[in-house]
Amino acid sequence: MISPRKKREKLDARTFLAAKQMTLAADAAMSSWTSEFDEYRKELGHKEKPNTSKQDVCLHLECLRCKQRVAEPDDLKQHEQRLHVSQITEFLFMGNADQSNSIQELKFDSCITAILNVSYEVPNKVVLVYNSLEGNYKHLPIDDTEEFKIINFFEEASKFIEEQRLNSTTTTPRILVHCRAGVSRSATIVIAYLMRYHKYSLLSALTLVRSRRSIVCPNNGFMRQLKEYEHQLASPAHHHHSVS
């Protein structure tokens, strides 16, 4: 006679064997189903979506001017400010020394029609070979120090920009204002122009320029002179002089 313990061990062995057979059958069925489903997808022409990472998506960011691809949105902004002039308004651009001497940038990428050089140390050799700039170039020797009286150049610089805008022979004038880095001197002149001819306040002009070129930062002396210029433009004497 078989003891209860032996019966239990025999039952456990049978249960284990049955469970193992069920598992193997389930695995075989799943493998067969997966294979059949893959074949079905192929027949329908379905393709697995690629495993696209964030970086792969960002690599589709492309500079509209030179078509160079970059990895991140911030990289695109840095790329544009380093290699290309910054568009402030429809007709007004800012840039640095390298951009102002690049035929590729001036003639093909940004189609610049006039240049205002507001640095004393940066020559514009490109003007000698870029025939489209003949008669549309002006150089104002301005130093980037807080003590320099840049306010003395506001009217002359602004007048040049406005005359180029109004008298351009092209449908849309594209005027570049540049210094060495495109940070302080050129920004100050562009802000002064916007205040003088387009009635911007100092704050609104600075906000606009920084929104289009984030590295803009006029030195403290230039900022004080821009505030002084804003007061001058708001004075009755200036309005009387403008009318007359």
Catalytic site positions? 179
CA dihedral 88, 91, 93, 99 (to 10 degrees): 150
Confirm if 63 and 70 have CB atoms less than 8 A apart.
yes
Three-class SS string for 55-97? HHHHCCEECCCCCCEECCHHHHHHHHHHHCCEECCCCEEEECH
> CA gyration radius for the chain?
35
In the DSSP assignment, the letter for residue 147 is T
The alpha carbon of 207 is separated from its chain's Cα centroid by a whole number of angstroms, namely: 16
